[in-house]
């Protein structure tokens, strides 16, 4: 089968099928389950993803221990309200959904890690919104999620998706790259365009540090879920418009991994640097702990 993204793409092009088909075949082999069983597990996880992406849109989550309570509802109100938005209602809705999953996560609600809990909003927001806009069938949507997860699996095996190891580029960055490739497939792009979108998306976030305020997965994680959902969409559009990445996707993954290793430990989930170390962040945590 395949060991990297190049191998995955080669198989898809040789057999003239989608990336998701190759990924499904690999999962069948790996898990000894049938394609139908695999799709059914993915369907149950998609249910969790959808719920988390929608839950906080109209009702803010529980405020206890939650620094980001209400941000999804505010964004949703802005996306669907009267005011003229800069990015348009679609992009604003995608951001609101990404914020919703982050809020649900922060308030001890149910989420599906994708690839991690801290980055759980990106793939659901993108796939749900693109599928909805396209009127895609459930099966086609699940296949897009397979593409996203299959690419994430390659990064997990060859590099990392842990913020503590690779910085936020490894969590939110990889989630965005996964979502971008899946969005291309869902929108009718070619496997090669999916892979280019993946590369562009990861390049766009290279070097992003992991600096959660107080060590909690809330600020700036939630906002990065929103921004990276948009990175996924714009990278998908870049790829489908014909922009090339020149570096192949595996090289970009390797570069991302190396950059992650070069980051000082203060910028890898220790809450000792970056946004977490600002005066305001420190005060915010003091106030929260005194409550």
Partner 1 sequence: MNTSIFQVAGPVMIGPSSSHTAGAAKIGRIARQIVNGDFERVTFGLYGSFEKTGKGHGTDKALLAGVLGIREDDEDISRSFELAGQAQIEFEFYPVELDGAHENSVLITFFKEGQVKTTVQGASIGGGNVRIVKIDGYEIGISGQLPTIFVKQNDQKGVISHVATVLADSDINIATMKVSRMQKKQDAICVIEIDDSIDETILQKLKEHPYIQIVRFIACA
Applying CB under 8 A, the residues found at the interface with partner 1 are 1-3, 8, 23, 26-27, 30-31, 38, 41-42, 44-45, 48, 62, 65, 104-118, 120, 145-146, 148-150, 152-154, 156-157, 161-162, 178, 214-218, 271, 288-289
Q: What distance in Å separates the CA atoms of residue 275 and residue 129, rounded to the nearest whole number?
A: 30
Q: Which is nearer to partner 1, 62 or 278 (CB)?
A: 62
User: Quick one: tokens of 63?
Assistant: 């405020």
Instruction: Say how many residues make up the chain.
Output: 291
Q: Which is nearer to partner 1, 125 or 271 (CB)?
A: 271
Q: Which is nearer to partner 1, 36 or 241 (CB)?
A: 36
Q: How far is CA 66 from CA 79, 112, 122, 275, in A?
A: 23, 19, 20, 17
User: From the CB of 125, what's the least distance to partner 1, in Å?
Assistant: 15
E strand or H helix at 129, and its extent?
Answer: helix 122-134
User: From the CB of 24, what's the least distance to partner 1, in Å?
Assistant: 9
Q: What distance in Å separates the CA atoms of residue 111 and residue 145, rounded to the nearest whole number?
A: 15
User: From the CB of 131, what's the least distance to partner 1, in Å?
Assistant: 15
User: Quick one: tokens of 51?
Assistant: 């719920």
User: From the CB of 137, what's the least distance to partner 1, in Å?
Assistant: 19
CA atoms within 13 A on the CB side of 76: 20
Q: Which is nearer to partner 1, 87 or 286 (CB)?
A: 286
Q: Which is nearer to partner 1, 121 or 240 (CB)?
A: 121
Q: What distance in Å separates the CA atoms of residue 120 and residue 107, rounded to the nearest whole number?
A: 13
User: From the CB of 52, what's the least distance to partner 1, in Å?
Assistant: 9
């Amino acid at each position: 089968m395949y060991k990297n993204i190049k191998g995955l793409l080669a198989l898809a092009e040789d057999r003239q099928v989608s990336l998701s088909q190759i990924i499904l075949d690999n999962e069948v082999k790996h898990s000894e389950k049938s394609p139908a069983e695999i799709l059914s597990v993915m369907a149950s996880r998609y249910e969790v993803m959808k719920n988390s992406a929608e839950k906080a849109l109209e009702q803010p989550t529980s405020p206890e221990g939650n620094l980001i309570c209400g941000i999804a509802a505010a964004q949703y109100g802005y996306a669907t309200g009267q005011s003229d938005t800069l990015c348009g209602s679609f992009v604003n809705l995608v951001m609101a959904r990404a914020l919703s999953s982050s809020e649900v996560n922060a308030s001890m609600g149910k989420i599906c890690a994708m690839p991690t809990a801290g980055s759980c909003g990106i793939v659901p927001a993108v796939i749900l919104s693109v599928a909805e806009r396209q009127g895609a069938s459930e099966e086609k949507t699940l296949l897009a999620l397979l593409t996203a997860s299959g690419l994430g699996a390659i990064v997990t095996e060859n590099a990392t998706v842990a913020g503590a190891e690779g910085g936020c580029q490894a969590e939110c960055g990889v989630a965005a790259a996964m979502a971008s490739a899946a969005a291309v497939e869902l929108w009718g792009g070619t496997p090669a365009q999916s892979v280019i979108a993946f590369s562009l998306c990861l390049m766009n976030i290279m070097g992003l540090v992991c600096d959660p305020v107080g060590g909690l997965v809330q600020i700036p994680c939630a906002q990065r879920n929103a921004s990276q959902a948009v990175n996924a969409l714009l990278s998908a559009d870049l790829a489908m418009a014909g922009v090339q990445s020149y570096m192949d996707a595996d090289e970009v993954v390797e570069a991302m991994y190396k950059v992650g290793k070069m980051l000082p430990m203060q910028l890898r989930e220790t809450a000792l640097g970056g946004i977490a170390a600002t005066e305001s962040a420190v005060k915010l945590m003091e106030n929260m702990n005194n409550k």
